[in-house]
Every structure is written in C-alpha cells, then in structure tokens.
Structure 1
Amino acid sequence: MERLLFIVAIVGALYHLYLIIHPYTPISYWYRIGIFDLTQLQRGTHVFFILAVGFLLSYLTRWSILSIGFRWILTLVLTIASGFIAILSISALLSRGALAPALMVLITWVLSMVLPLARPLARRAPLEMSDIALAILSFIPYIYLVYNYQDLIYRAVLPEPMDIAMGWAMTFMLMGLVLRLVGPEMPILVCAFILYDIYGYLLPRPWFHPGFDVGFLAGKLYIETEAALLGTVTGVSAKYVVYFTILSGLLGALGYGGAMAKVFLSLLGRSPASVGRATVGLGIGMGMVSGSGAADTAFIGSTMKPLYRAAGYRDLDAAGLAANAGTLAYITPPILGSAAFLMVELLGIPYTWVIIMSIGPALLYAISILLYNGFYVRKTGIKPVDMKPDKRFSPLYVIPFIPPIIILTIVSLGYSITLAVFISIVLAPIIAILDKGMRNNLRKIPEGFAEGLKLLVPVGASIVMANIIMAMVVVSGLHQKFALALLQIVGGNLIYAVLFAFFFSLLLGMGVPPIATYTLASLLTAPIIIKLAVASGIPEEAATLATHMFLFYCAMLADITPPVALSAFAAAAVFGSDPIKVGVRASMVALPKYLYVPSFIWSYWGTGLLVLPLTLTMPITETFALMATRFAAVLAGTVFVSAANAGYLGCSLSMPLRILLVVFGIMLVIPSEILNIVGLIGGLSITILSMRLGISCGQE
C-alpha cells in the first residue's frame, strides 16, 4: 500500500508541476484537454488527488487522531449532524426514483462518517479498508465531473439526481478525510453551516431565511462555475499551496533543513543565550522554505533538544521556545501560511505586498522570543554550552538559503509567486550538488515530490472545507446578518469591533485550522471593521490591508494557543512534556504578539507596523517618522513585557513589578502618544530601579 501511495503522490506532484509549463507546450496549441486547460477541472483534479492520496495516507496512519476520548464524542456529534444531511439527500433522491444515486450517497456517508466511530473500539477490524474503498470511490465524482463538465454548467439550478449524489458524495468524502487527518471540529462547523442553510426558516429574525433544499445546495457545492468544492478558496490550494508543499517536501528530502541547522549551530557562540538564539535563527531559516508551524517545530525541537538539555533549560521552557520558533514559519517570508494566498485572491493584491507587510511583525515576533530567552537565561543562570563553534564564514553557508532568495528575487521582479516557486523546485537539486551532504540525497528527489503531496493533503482538504463554509455563508446571507448584529453589539466603536474579532478568531482557531479561521473571520467581521476604520479617519485602502493582516495574524495565533496549539503539541511530543502546559508557556513567550496584533487597525498610526498601509496612502516623506516611532514604541513595550514574562530585569522581579511592567508595556503597544509616553516613563523607572540603583526587586 505504501508503494501505491508513493505512485499516486508522484503522479499528483508531476501533474501540478506540468500545469505550469503546459501553456508553453505544443500540446496546448494542438489539443484542448479539460484537466489541463479548464480552471474548474484543474481544481477538480486537485481535489481528487487530495482525496486519493489522503485516504491512502489515512490507511497507513490508522486514524490515530480519533483515539482520543473527547475527539470520539465530537465524531459522534459530527455523525449525527451529517446524518441529517444524508437522510435529506437520500430522501430527495428516492422521491425522484433515483435508487442508484441514493445508494451512492448512503455508501459514502457510512464509509466516511459512521465507521470512524467504531475505530477506537476495536484493535483489529476491517475498518481501515474503508479508506481503501473511499480512495477508489473518489474516482467516481471526479470522472463524472470531467466527463459531464460541459453539461453540468447548464444544470446548476436544476441538477439531475446523479449530479446531487456526486456533490454530496464528494462533500462527505472530504469531511471524512478531514475527520481522519485533522479532527472532527472543522467538519462539524461545515455541517452546522449546511444545516443552517437548510433549516434557516425555523429561526427567528434576524437569522431567518427561507431555507434551501439539498438539490439546490448540491449545485452550489459541486456544479456551479465557482462551486464550493471547486471555488476561489480551493483555487488557492491548487494555484499556490501545492507548489509550496512540493518545494518543502523536496527541500526536506534533499537535506536543506539539516544544512540550515548546521549553519546556525556552527555559528553558535559561547554566550549562555546562544542556544535560544540559534533556535530563533533556525526558525526563521526554516520559515523561509516551509509554511508548517507544527512540522518546523518538530524539526527544530529535535535538532536543539540535546543543546537545551546540555545548557540546563527546563524541558517545559525549551518546548515553549521551540514552539514559538516553529510558528515563525507562518509569518516568515517568502513562504507564509496558506491564508496569505487566500488574502491575495480575496483582495486582488500582489503577493509582494503581503511579504512587505509581514516583515515588521515577523521581526517583532522573533525579537520577543530572543528577549524572553535572554531574560530567562540571566534569571535561571543557564551555562554556556561547551561547543567549539566555527567562527570562519564559508561561502557554502549560503547554499541552503538560495531557494528562498530565488523566490524573493523573482517575485520582486514582478513575476508570479507560482512561477518563482516552480523555478526554485527546478533549481533546488542543482543547488544541492554544491553541498557534499545534500549531494548524496539527490536520489531522494522522487521521495521529496511524494512527500510534498502528502504535506498538501491535510492543508488542502481544510482549504476546500473553508471554501464550503464561505459558500454556505454567502448563500444564506449570514455574513450580512452577522455584520448587522456585530454593528449593534459594538455600537460603532472600532476598538470594540477589533477586540471582538480578535477573541472570535482565537476561539474559532481553537477548533479549526488557520485557513478556515481567516476565511470565516474575514467574511463575518472584516466588512464592519473596515467600515468603522474608515469612519475613524483611516483611508479605505489602508483600512482594508490592515484589517486583513490583523485577521491573518489572529488566525496564526491559534498555532500556539491552547487547547489546540498544534506547534505546542509538536514541541510537547519532542520534549515529553504536557501539551497544555507547553501551550500555556508558548503563549506566555508570545504574549507581545497577542498585544501588538490588534493594534494594527486601532488607528492610522497603528497601521505603521505593516508599512504599506501608510506608504500607499500618504506621502513617503511623512511616513518614515510615523513608522519609526511606531516600531520604537512597540519594541520598547516588547522589552518590558518579555522582562515581566521572564521575571527578570537586572534582578528577579516581584509579582507587583511584573504586573506593572506588563501594564506599561501594553501602554507602549497601544497607538496613542499619551499612553506611549506614560508607558515609557513607567517602564524606564522600573528598569532604573532594578538595574542601576541595585534595589532588591524581591523573588518570584
């Protein structure tokens, strides 16, 4: 079965790579082949590979994610919710005498949603064979789509029974795949929005709507030009994400990550803080070639674990630092999280804009981790690691960083990010020849391509789920109803709206991946925030960019926010610590990030952290001072909050002083000149007391 998975994954990777060069081949001029030339069929093929590779991967991993008790209860809830949808679909099909389509829906629902309930109850049962069956069944709706595409576009409003069956079959398969590889939370959310679209007529105003039958929704899911399963959000996965995962898998197979680790470790100094600094450096380096916080956390944690223990770090603190360093992958250009590509599509902006806007927050995040590490080392008396670093710079050190440099260069020249990544994929093996260690890994190129498709599966399936959520929200008009309700709740106050969106995103992110969090938050809260920001005096373009970057970072925070905290779980697994405790510690290390993210959109000055909202909407001569003072204030606040977190600023800080430092740090982060001045004076006062006058600050 592993061999079959490898072959299917390789074919999927090569298909996507061929799509880049297809327009320039003679075939594109001689023949019109749907899966190569039509956007919807390209997306359909993309979804098919996600399903086929995903279920084969699920078979090999034995659904370990469903063995947790609470997850099993959520799976039961999901089965019941999806059962209502399945019963309605089957009833509608049987009423039209369509027995075969009804059986198709029933079989896919049972295999996808019912059998997982029995998985934790039996050690050896043929349940895993349902994955094989679903991998085979995934051909049916895909082939049906390819064969009938020209006819389907005319049947979106009045679909035929088999159209309905194929739409719901593919939907249940995707929900079943996400259930197996990610968890039941996101499929439950999808079912909730579908059921709202069906039963909205039972709700009071303002949430009332006439309701839609399952046939109409099947058209919205599967048939329309921008159908939910094949829409704009799915296009983000097919157009951007798959190429980054292929690049990530290829670089991993060639050993680029290990080469980066050697570079940072070879430059490791004798300072007690050097281990933490190397961790941050490695996090930034891995973030340049990967967009997976959990995967990077596992790699960084495994690489740095011996050094942390040699230096005397507690496992809990080391895991918290590793989780934060790994999360840098989401916000370190040029490869950002999948939500960044969705932002590009939704706003119609160049990807370079997102890269520019992400630089400042990424630097602040890295600095906050470094500051916490520095204060922690001084407080706990961490000793230098007994190593012999290589102080000589070698030109070979730049080799593992060439692929991200290529991407940045090509994108800055105005070419598409997809082309830039494709060129990096082509050149990566050639560059690897220059390094002796990576040269020996050239035979692993096929494994790298296959790994890239495997990395795509959970992310890509979640992205398609997010597209379903968006479609169901738009169909029912829920986004408009929610916006009106939110406007009444916040009373026209921008700060209240920002805080609502912040906590709404954090709460949502505790159960669903960042792409879904960003999709839903941007759909439900962004219009009101932008409207209130414009009313407060922020230019519309600046307000739009800042709002979406704010929601993007809120979605990213879920990676280290308990109870989900995927990066924290990865770090906990490496260090053998409690995941929730690691999540709490990681959140404390990242506390400055929780504070400055909402400030992006609190005022026009606050957008200065993102650079572009100011430079695009006011003369460049006036922006430098605003951005410089904004960064300086937030940086000072980050210093004070990090010191309070570690409990050290020249000497151990008592709890009252730590609380005061946090308050003064928050004042500096808020974009207000008066509060900044008060916060700076207060923070400096405590600093002088603890560092210059030598007054005892007490013990923690």
Structure 2
Amino acid sequence: MSNTPDTRPSGEDELIDKAPETIAEGVDEEVVESNRRLYTGWQWLLFATLAIVYATFHLVSLNVYPMETWSFRIVHIAGALILGYGLFAGTRFAGEGDTTRSPAWLDWVCYALLIPAGYALVQVFLMQQAIGGGAMRIEPNIEAWHFGYPLIFATTAAILISWGYRQVREKLPPADLVLMVCALAVAGYLILIYNTPLRASTGTAFAPIGISYAALAGSLLILELTRRVAGLALVIISALFLAYVFAGPYLPGFLGYPGLSFNRFFSQVYTDAGILGPTTAVSSTYIILFIIFAAFLQASKVGDYFVNFAFAAAGRARGGPAKVSIFASGLMGMINGTSAGNVVSTGSLTIPLMKKVGYPGRSAGAIEAAASTGGQIMPPIMGAGAFIMAEVTGIPYTEIAVSALIPAILYFLSVYCMVDFEAARKGMRGMRKDEIPLFSKLVKQVYLFAPIIILIAALFMGYSVIRAGTLATASAAVVSWISPNKMGIREILKALQLAGNMSIQIIAVCACAGLIVGVISLTGVGARFSSLLLGVAGVSQLLALFFAMCISILLGMGMPTTAAYAVAASVVAPGLINIGIQPLVAHFFVFYFAVVSAITPPVALASYAAAGISGDNAMGTSVASFKIGLAAFIVPFMFYYSPAMLMEGSWMQILRVGVTATLGIVLLAATVQAWFFGPVKVWMRLVMLLGAMFMIYGGIYTDIAGLAIGGGLFMLQRGSHGGGAKPVASG
C-alpha cells in the first residue's frame, strides 16, 4: 500500500529543478456571478466607492464610534440592499444585438416610478422635521397616503418589472434605481421612528401604521435581493412562513394559532424579534468583520499559498490531488464561509487533477464537495454558523470553537480514509515531484499563516471577537509587506471593495432568515414543534433525534449554511433542549445537519457546484458525496451519546471517546470502501460495521467490544495480506 517507488534516483536533482514554483493561481480571484453587473467609467467608480465606504463604515462603527444598535443594523441592511440592487440584476442580461432587449418605453415607466419612491423618501425628511419640531407622532393618514402607499406601490412595481427587464451588463436599469431609493426610504423612516418613544409601541395597536408599511416594503426588498444572490429556495421557504402568519388560524391540529393582524405582525417583524434579531446581529458584527478579514487575505494571495502548501504537503501520497482537496478545503474553510464557494475556489484546480490520476469525474466531484462542506465545521471560524450559535445560546464563541475541534477532526479523518482506501483499491498513484511545488520553498513563506494564528491567539487570550478579528485583519496587511504580494493603499482599498461586494449575499441571507425567525417567534410555531418533539421522545429519544435530523436537513436543503442553521436553531433546537439535551449538544446537532444539507440529495448545493466542474451527473455526484461524508451524519448522534466529544467531561473521558471514535471512523470508512489492508469480504464488512458502531456509540463496554472486533480484523487482514495487497482494479 505504499506509494509507487521512485525508480529514477539519479534524476532527483533534475526533478527538483523542474518542480514548479506554484500550481495554484487565481484561487483568490473574485468570483463574478452570471447576474453581476460589470460597470465601467464613472459607474464603476461610484459602486466601488460605495462598497469601500460600506466596509469602512463597519470597521469604524465596530471599533471607534459605535451607533445605536437598531439604527446600526438598519443601516447595515440598507447598505447591502443598495449595493445589491446596484450590482445584481433581476434577470439575465441581453446579448449584443439581442432583439429581446427591453423596449425604451419601459425605461420611462421605471423613471416614472421614481416619483412615488422619491416622494416617500421626501416625506421621511418632512416627518423628521415635524418630530424635531415637537410632534409626538405623525398623523396616520399622512403615514399611509404620503409615505406607505407610494412606497409599497413603487417597490412592488419595480420588483415585478425587474423580473422581465433585460438590458446590457454595463448599465444600471432604472427599475433597480427605484429599489435603491425605496431601500433608503425604508431605512430613513425606521431609524426616525425607532429613535423616539414610539419604538416601545411595536407589536401593539398603538404602533404607527408607517412601521408596518416600511416593514412590508423592507421585507419585499430583502426577499427579492435574496432571490438574486442566493436563489429561490430560501425565498420560497420564507414565503411559506409568511403565508402561515395569516393562514395559521385556519389550519388544524398543532399548526393552528389565534392569528395576528397585518399591523401587529409587520410592526414587530422589523425589530429585534425578527429581521433585526440574532441573524442580523451576527451579520452586522462578526460576519462582516470576517468577510473583511477574508478579503484582506485574498488581496494578499493567501488562498493561493494555502492550496500550494496543501499540494506540497500531500500531493505525493496515493490519490494525491484528492488528499490535497481535503487539506486545501479545510484551510480555505477558515476564510471562505460557504460550501459551494469552497468548491468553486479549490475544486476548479483539484477536480481536474483528481481525474488525471485516476478518479472518475463523479468521485472527484464528490470528494471536493464533501471536503468543502467540512470547511464549514472547521475551527476557528466555522463559517458564520458558529457566531449565530454564540449569539443564540449565550455560550462564548471560544468555547464553541474548542467544542468543534474533535468533531471536525473526525469528519476530515473520515473523508481522508475514504479517499485513501479508494485510492488503494484502485491502485492510484500520487503526483510526481516535478508536478508539485517544493515543500522546502513553500515552508519559507509559512509566515502567511500568521494572521490566522494571531486571530486564534487573540481569541484565547480573552480579546472580544471584534477586537481579535480587527487585529487579524490589520496583521494580514502587515504580513503582506514581507510577502511577494505587498498591500499598499490601492490594494487595501481593493480589499475593502471586495469585502463590500462579498458581504451582500450573506447579509441578504441573514436578513431573510431573520424574517423566518420572526415568524417563528411571533406565531409560536417553534413552541408547538417542541411539544410535538417532546411527544415523540416519550416513545423513543432516538426516534426524536432522527426526526430532528430530518427536519434540520429538510429546512437546510438549497439554503446557505447560515440561513439553514438559523432557521433550524429556531424550530428544532428548543425541542431538543426540552427533551433533556444540553443546549450546546442540541445546537451542535442542528448545526451539523444544517451544514451537511449541502451534500444531501436531492438538493445538494455543494455537490451540484462540484458536478458543474467535473462534468458528471449532479444527482450522481450528490449521492457519492453523501457516501463520502457519511461520518457527518453519524457524528451528531455521538454528541448525544458521548458529550465528551464536545469537550464536555473529564480529560480521561474526552481522551477515551476521542480515540475510540477515531478508530470507529476508520472502520466505517473501510466498511464503505470495502478495503482495509486489502480487499474486505462481505461478511467482514458486516462485522466491521458492527465494530465501528460499537466504538462510535462511546460506551465503555461497547468500546471494548469494538476494539476487540477492530483488533481481530486488523490481525486477520495483516495475516492474509502481509501488510499490503495489490489493488483490485487499476485507475
């Protein structure tokens, strides 16, 4: 099972001379979406400046001049809406000479919509003057006829027109200009009202009707931007939850509830009970800060270095590119918060190389999807979900990061063993020395890891997440000065612009998830689901956990991790806590299944992205990635049966569970791939699966039984194959 021996020792120096300096290039390049506008001239300068100002605003507000909390979150969402509608089109672009380009008269219709949108914005200034002059509140008729109706009309009409509006990629259509003005009007009104005593009236019959109109328009703007940047899945789920608000009173059984009026619901949904709640709290602080950190790392080409480092470290092992994808995706997961984004950034390089050494396209795509999904559970950043978990549970972020360590190791070990056993079974080679960068050269630039090390050190020294993130961001710029990619003023501004652009998707998704969370909290559907789960647990706790797993995956399908976890944490986690599971265990259980929804058929975003690169069938790739990432579907149950897996317990318990679970994961991978130290017969696979389950369960007696089975199989395989076996098939 060793690597193919080097039969040319005399050419060693020649191979070293031929070794490339780097393999990975362009990993850090900004991904331009198909519906992203590409401006030139003054328009490019305008939106680049807006993105820089937006990112800088957050750095200043978080570190120097803090704003009032609700106002800060409203500006945070409004800025993303304005940037988002400026950069992302509502439909595909028209090509050159395309006769389906929208007619000129439609432009004038959109320009006409600027009148009601602008009128609503002007009314905000007039209301501000009235309140500044001593008025206690604005007349309801004025709020409705002079602000609410014009705003709703302009927002709805512009969104509908934008669905069919086709123009060139370099031009901002007037329909989206209308939506940008509407976003300003919504933000201006809400900031005005929420900074008066009227803020306390939200959710009551005394709330100004204008809040409801602003919240409705704001919700429509958030839903439409989410559709443009994240697809329809989250929008459809949000629409179903919104429909439940008004249809709930007519539903039978545990889904029924007394009902909420239009004013009571919408006057409260754009507060910290909904859109301005935990998801936006996290996106406006931790997430935006780490997006800026990631942008600075990208600007200094750290992503290229990470991937090249992974090639140098693991490229020569059998099935080398597959193992590189595991290491590279784990490293990129620290600076890239989405599974599909991880696939695109590293998979475009690793998938073709995996195919080159013998992996079928389906396996190559599946390995990359499974490895990239693991980036979401890799400490210290763990995507955005860890920050939301800290916000929701009140558990310190550092404690969550430490708790995630053993599960993350088990997941990546499982994927590694799956890859290694498949490579051994198919007789795959590693990459040659002249195909990978020299480790001795790359290790001289190991200082590029310094920003991440500084981040981790600062967090565990007791710095707040915001201070630690800001320090790490500054260190990324400083470290670049001794690297080949120095960051001057131009590069720093470029990084801030990149951060502003990168933040749009995650902010829209978090705001949209906040809308769902608002429906759950205001209608009480989460509590009714908890009572249902409690009833199931009365029959069997394992059945209740399985039911919770299915709901978490179902809620997460087709959704980014952040939104998937936020929604599942609101619906499922309280029910798990009610049946006696510790809050940390319950939230990690939900978080893991929200993450692996990215590789769970039939809707698996990461697998679909990988299939697009590998050229294989998307559904086949998602099934294969589900098999490779199988450990991720078992590990959460280990949290329940062995809380020591999350560092809950004595060091002896943690050590025992960690070691036996590791051995169990290896046996599980061997069972799936039908290879251990050689081919594994059917009866041996069944015994191996039993031993794996025993050790994964974590009890003292089951651990002993599992170790006995594993030891017996080890001796049997070593005796049969003498420590190695010829592959059963050639790659």
Q: What TM-score, normalized to structure 2?
A: 0.81
Query: Matched residues in 2 for 1:96 and 1:433: separation?
Result: 55
Aligned ranges 1:341-360 → 2 under 5 Å: 341-360=387-406
For the 8 Å contact 1:94–1:102, the answer to whether it is kept is: no
Match for residue 517 of structure 1? 564
Does residue 445 of structure 1 match 2:492? yes
Query: Matched residues in 2 for 1:267 and 1:523: separation?
Result: 41
Q: In the alignment, which of 219, 225, 248 is matched to residue 177 of structure 1? A: 225
Does residue 13 of structure 1 match 2:13? no
Farther-moved stretch of structure 1 (137-146 vs 395-404): 395-404
CA 123–427 in structure 1, closer or farther in 2 if over 3 Å, else same: closer
Tell me, what secondary structure is at the counterpart of 1:229?
coil
Does residue 692 of structure 1 match 2:719? yes
For the 8 Å contact 2:530–2:576, the answer to whether it is kept is: no
What code does the residue aligned with 1:331 have?
I
1:483-529 superposed Cα distances (whole Å, 9 cap, x missing partner)? 11222233253222221111111111113332233223222332332
Aligned ranges 1:7-406 → 2 under 5 Å: 7-23=49-65, 36-59=66-89, 62=92, 98=145, 101-112=148-159, 114-115=160-161, 118=164, 129-151=174-196, 152-156=198-202, 157=204, 158-222=206-270, 224=271, 226-268=272-314, 270-388=316-434, 390-392=438-440, 396-406=444-454
CA positional deviation for 1:590: 1.0
Query: Matched residues in 2 for 1:697 and 1:345: separation?
Result: 53
Query: Matched residues in 2 for 1:393 and 1:364: separation?
Result: 31
Does residue 573 of structure 1 match 2:612? yes
CA 184–128 in structure 1, closer or farther in 2 if over 3 Å, else same: farther
Name the % identity.
24
CA positional deviation for 1:409: 0.8
Query: Matched residues in 1 for 2:726 and 2:431: separation?
Result: 29
What code does the residue aligned with 1:422 have?
T
Q: In the alignment, which of 660, 666, 670 is matched to residue 693 of structure 2? A: 666
For the 8 Å contact 2:316–2:431, the answer to whether it is kept is: yes
| Corresponding pairs, count | 634
CA 264–104 in structure 1, closer or farther in 2 if over 3 Å, else same: same
CA positional deviation for 1:264: 2.6
CA positional deviation for 1:185: 2.1
1:94-131 superposed Cα distances (whole Å, 9 cap, x missing partner)? 9997375224223323433x446647xx7989996533
Farther-moved stretch of structure 1 (411-420 vs 328-337): 328-337
CA positional deviation for 1:309: 3.6
Which structure's relative contact order is higher, taking Cα pairs within 8 Å and 6+ residues apart? 2
Query: Matched residues in 1 for 2:280 and 2:317: separation?
Result: 47
Does residue 646 of structure 1 match 2:673? yes
For the 8 Å contact 1:493–1:532, the answer to whether it is kept is: no
CA positional deviation for 1:170: 0.4
What code does the residue aligned with 2:507 have?
G
Query: Matched residues in 1 for 2:352 and 2:385: separation?
Result: 34
Q: What TM-score, normalized to structure 1?
A: 0.84
Query: Matched residues in 2 for 1:303 and 1:441: separation?
Result: 29
Query: Matched residues in 1 for 2:162 and 2:537: separation?
Result: 42
Query: Matched residues in 1 for 2:661 and 2:273: separation?
Result: 43
Query: Matched residues in 2 for 1:96 and 1:269: separation?
Result: 65
Query: Matched residues in 1 for 2:167 and 2:611: separation?
Result: 26
CA 109–679 in structure 1, closer or farther in 2 if over 3 Å, else same: farther
Farther-moved stretch of structure 1 (271-280 vs 362-371): 271-280
What code does the residue aligned with 1:531 have?
N
Query: Matched residues in 1 for 2:626 and 2:646: separation?
Result: 22
What code does the residue aligned with 2:449 have?
F
Farther-moved stretch of structure 1 (478-487 vs 400-409): 478-487
1:147-178 superposed Cα distances (whole Å, 9 cap, x missing partner)? 33323414422333332211100000001111
For the 8 Å contact 1:307–1:385, the answer to whether it is kept is: no
Query: Matched residues in 1 for 2:181 and 2:143: separation?
Result: 27
CA positional deviation for 1:239: 1.2
Query: Matched residues in 2 for 1:371 and 1:297: separation?
Result: 20
CA 165–301 in structure 1, closer or farther in 2 if over 3 Å, else same: same
CA 593–213 in structure 1, closer or farther in 2 if over 3 Å, else same: same
Query: Matched residues in 1 for 2:90 and 2:524: separation?
Result: 41
What code does the residue aligned with 1:160 have?
P
Match for residue 18 of structure 2? none
Query: Matched residues in 1 for 2:422 and 2:728: separation?
Result: 14
CA positional deviation for 1:433: 1.4
Match for residue 411 of structure 1? 459
1:185-213 superposed Cα distances (whole Å, 9 cap, x missing partner)? 22222222222222322123433322111
For the 8 Å contact 1:668–1:675, the answer to whether it is kept is: yes
Query: Matched residues in 2 for 1:591 and 1:385: separation?
Result: 27
Query: Matched residues in 2 for 1:351 and 1:652: separation?
Result: 44
CA positional deviation for 1:379: 0.8
1:671-693 superposed Cα distances (whole Å, 9 cap, x missing partner)? 33444444444444444444422
Tell me, what secondary structure is at the counterpart of 1:230?
coil
1:82-104 superposed Cα distances (whole Å, 9 cap, x missing partner)? xxxxxxxxxxx999973752242
Query: Matched residues in 2 for 1:139 and 1:50: separation?
Result: 11
1:300-357 superposed Cα distances (whole Å, 9 cap, x missing partner)? 1123245324322222222222222222321122211212111111121221101101
Query: Matched residues in 1 for 2:70 and 2:406: separation?
Result: 37
What code does the residue aligned with 1:59 have?
A
Query: Matched residues in 2 for 1:94 and 1:564: separation?
Result: 47
Query: Matched residues in 2 for 1:267 and 1:574: separation?
Result: 24
Match for residue 508 of structure 1? 555
CA 651–97 in structure 1, closer or farther in 2 if over 3 Å, else same: closer
CA 173–350 in structure 1, closer or farther in 2 if over 3 Å, else same: same
1:374-433 superposed Cα distances (whole Å, 9 cap, x missing partner)? 111111111231224535376633222111111111111101111111111122121011
Match for residue 609 of structure 1? 645
CA 107–409 in structure 1, closer or farther in 2 if over 3 Å, else same: same
CA positional deviation for 1:460: 1.4
CA positional deviation for 1:572: 2.0
Tell me, what secondary structure is at the counterpart of 1:191?
helix
What code does the residue aligned with 2:668 have?
V
Match for residue 72 of structure 1? none
Task: Give the structure with higher Rg (CA).
Answer: 2
CA positional deviation for 1:364: 1.0
CA positional deviation for 1:284: 2.3
Query: Matched residues in 2 for 1:214 and 1:286: separation?
Result: 45
Gaps of 5+ in 2: 1-37, 95-139
For the 8 Å contact 1:197–1:212, the answer to whether it is kept is: yes
For the 8 Å contact 1:247–1:425, the answer to whether it is kept is: yes
For the 8 Å contact 1:501–1:521, the answer to whether it is kept is: no
For the 8 Å contact 1:254–1:442, the answer to whether it is kept is: no
CA 345–332 in structure 1, closer or farther in 2 if over 3 Å, else same: same
CA 384–484 in structure 1, closer or farther in 2 if over 3 Å, else same: closer
Query: Matched residues in 1 for 2:93 and 2:69: separation?
Result: 33
